[in-house]
């Protein structure tokens, strides 16, 4: 009987030890599961942040593309304006050259009636720089005409 009691006592001790080990192991398993759940939540949060960052990059690229298109259109408009300006400037220069040739011809002939004809040229709308050039040329013509009239008198 003593042997039976010893065996029962040893069995009870092993059961209590086994139960304690099970509870300790179960606690460790619960801790591991909690850590795994935390890690999974962190991974999910990182995936969400990555997706948001990718969307931000996509949006920034779209904005950059739109800005490049606007800049390209603006540059094309500027080039067109430059071409228009160069064309107008060439046209104005041609008018000034023609006016200078006409004034030189009038000076060479010594005619004064042509001053009125030159003033009629101003009836056409000119930009301010062309008008100023015409005024300068007319003033020169008037001085020449006055000199010619002074010599013939």
Provide the residue ranges of all domains of the chain, joining segments of one domain with +. 2-152
- What is the torsional sign of CA 106, 109, 115, 117? negative
For the chain, give the longest Cα–Cα distance. 169
- Give percent of the chain with pLDDT exceeding 70: 60
How many H helices and E strands in the chain? 3, 0
pLDDT tens, residue by residue, 36-53 = 788 788 888 888 888 888
Q: What is the rounded CA–CA span in Å between residue 27 and residue 53?
A: 39
In the numeric block, which tokens belong to residue 106? 């009038």
Q: What is the rounded CA–CA span in Å between residue 130 and residue 119?
A: 13
> What is the residue-averaged pLDDT of the chain?
71
pLDDT over 70 at 12, yes or no: no
Phi and psi for 112 in degrees, rounded to 5? -110, -20
Contact 136, 109 (CB under 8 A): no
pLDDT over 80 at 75, yes or no: no
């Amino acid at each position: 009987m003593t042997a039976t009691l010893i065996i029962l006592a040893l069995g009870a001790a092993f059961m209590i030890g086994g139960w304690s080990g099970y509870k300790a192991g179960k606690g460790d398993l619960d801790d591991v599961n909690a850590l795994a759940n935390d890690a999974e939540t962190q991974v999910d949060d990182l995936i969400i942040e990555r997706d948001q960052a990718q969307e931000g990059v996509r949006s920034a690229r779209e904005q950059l593309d739109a800005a490049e298109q606007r800049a390209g259109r603006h540059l094309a408009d500027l080039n067109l304006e430059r071409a228009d300006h160069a064309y107008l400037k060439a046209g104005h220069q041609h008018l000034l050259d023609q006016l200078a040739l006409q004034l030189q011809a009038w000076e060479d002939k010594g005619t004064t009636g042509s001053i009125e004809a030159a003033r009629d040229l101003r009836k056409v709308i000119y930009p301010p720089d062309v008008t100023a050039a015409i005024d300068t040329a007319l003033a020169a013509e008037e001085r020449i005409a006055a000199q010619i009239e002074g010599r013939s008198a």
